[in-house]
């Protein structure tokens, strides 16, 4: 007899009353966070094979919630289902730039790949990848420090290997010391000590050369801290509620994005400015992904940046940002805003301006295929 047949003969499974009530609430409102928290608590007390269905529903409903992805991943890690863990990371890491999710990824690599002969390379790649994606986060200090300590701990035999290690450690320190974040002062002090420990005479010049950029980043870090204060960055993304609290959060997110657009680092590097602004948009969309105006503004901003870079002759980054703008529209209409007509029109318009006529055609076809939209509009 098949397992399913055997299961079918058993008494129906007991479902606690509070879970039944929560499920009923979710039928009425799939975004009811109180109801979800009851289901999450229930799932956390179940074996993963039983709870997996709940976690899958959770991340399908809230695909941009770093907190919910992390809960799911931690449950699979606890059960040592490493194949499943890696697939989950592949599904969410690149789209969900959430600091705690990325820290979870790094600790997973650290704890599960330690016995591999290629561990050092794998770990260094994971840190580089993380800093590239989430190094601009105001709370990223611990990742920088962990990477530096990891590099310092790598065995180096002979002067060539020793020099290579020094260069690698120095490179991360120097990147970190000009990156606005909380605790940047501590990183700078540690860097000074590190250079002095290698060569006291050369250290003075090395430190002087970087001092101005560090002071600039430290100034920006203070502003960054102020502008982020009060933002609820763990809130799952839900459709607009039109409450005063929501209006206040939207306003604060827009202020943070505006602050990044004002180029607080006073840099001439348009690519860096664009990356910082887009990081702000990405953080905002994790929480406000159901707000079409924010997706639209993000795509518009990339389009403007792309034109600016093209005028300056930087065709590579111009193309990169131009494609990224299309990608923003694509992500919006293929995830949370599948039925937002204005985004389809804006997307088609944008691709038409890039003379991608086949793409325009396919965007309109996708719009017409949506069942409950009036095609005569």
The per-residue pLDDT for 7 is 46
The per-residue pLDDT for 5 is 47
The per-residue pLDDT for 4 is 46
Q: Is the dihedral of CA 62, 67, 71, 73 positive or negative?
A: positive
Position 80 in a domain: no
| Per-residue confidence band for 10, with pLDDT thresholds at 50, 70 and 90 | low
In contact, 353 and 341? CB cutoff 8 Å: no
Q: What are phi and psi of 13, to 5 degrees?
A: -70, 140
In contact, 260 and 277? CB cutoff 8 Å: yes
Is residue 374's pLDDT more than 90?
Answer: no
Position 355 in a domain: yes
The per-residue pLDDT for 126 is 97
Position 208 in a domain: no
Tokens standing for residue 317: 């980054």
Distance CA 76, CA 330 (A): 30
Position 202 in a domain: no
Position 297 in a domain: yes
Is residue 58's pLDDT more than 70?
Answer: yes
Is residue 376's pLDDT more than 90?
Answer: no
CATH number, domain of 318, equals: 1.25.40.10
pLDDT in tens, 322-332: 999 999 999 99
Number of independent structural domains in the chain: 1
Long-range Cβ contacts of 240-247 (<8 Å, 24+ apart): 240/290, 240/291
Position 186 in a domain: no
The per-residue pLDDT for 11 is 56
User: What is the domain range of residue 278?
Assistant: 241-368
Distance CA 93, CA 72 (A): 13
Position 364 in a domain: yes
The per-residue pLDDT for 25 is 97
| Per-residue confidence band for 339, with pLDDT thresholds at 50, 70 and 90 | very high
Residue with tokens 């890690």, as numbered in its chain: 77
Position 5 in a domain: no
């Amino acid at each position: 007899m098949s397992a399913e047949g055997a299961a079918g003969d058993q008494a129906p499974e007991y479902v606690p009353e509070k879970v039944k009530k929560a499920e009923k609430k979710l039928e009425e409102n799939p975004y009811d966070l109180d109801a979800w928290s009851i289901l999450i608590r229930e799932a956390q007390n179940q074996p993963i094979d039983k709870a997996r269905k709940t976690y899958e529903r959770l991340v399908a409903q809230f695909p941009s919630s770093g907190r919910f992805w992390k809960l799911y991943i931690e449950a699979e890690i606890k059960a040592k289902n490493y194949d499943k863990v890696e697939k989950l990371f592949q599904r969410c890491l690149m789209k969900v730039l959430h600091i705690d999710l990325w820290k979870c990824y790094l600790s997973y690599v650290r704890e599960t790949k330690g016995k591999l002969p290629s561990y050092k390379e794998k770990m260094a790649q994971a840190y580089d990848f993380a800093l590239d994606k989430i190094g601009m986060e105001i709370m990223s200090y611990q990742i920088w420090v962990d990477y530096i300590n990891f590099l310092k701990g790598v065995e180096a035999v002979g002067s060539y290997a020793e020099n290579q290690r020094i260069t690698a450690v120095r490179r991360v320190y120097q990147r970190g010391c000009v990156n606005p974040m909380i605790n940047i002062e501590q990183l700078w002090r540690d860097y000074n000590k590190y250079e002095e420990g290698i060569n006291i005479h050369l250290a003075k010049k090395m430190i002087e050369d970087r001092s101005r950029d560090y002071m600039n980043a430290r100034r920006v870090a203070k502003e960054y801290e102020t502008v982020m204060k009060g933002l609820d960055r763990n809130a799952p993304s839900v459709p607009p509620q039109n409450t005063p609290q929501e209006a206040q959060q939207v306003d604060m997110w827009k202020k943070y994005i505006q602050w990044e657009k004002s180029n607080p680092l006073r840099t001439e590097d348009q690519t860096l400015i664009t990356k910082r602004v887009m990081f702000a948009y990405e953080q905002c969309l994790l929480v406000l992904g159901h707000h079409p105006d924010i997706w639209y503004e993000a795509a518009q901003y990339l389009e403007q940046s792309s034109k600016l870079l093209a005028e300056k002759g930087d065709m590579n980054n111009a193309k990169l940002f131009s494609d990224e703008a299309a990608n923003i529209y694509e992500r919006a209409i293929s995830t949370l805003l599948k039925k937002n007509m204005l985004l389809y029109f804006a997307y088609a318009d944008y691709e038409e301006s890039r003379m991608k006529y086949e793409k325009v055609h396919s965007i309109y076809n996708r719009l017409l295929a949506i069942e409950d939209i009036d095609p005569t509009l």
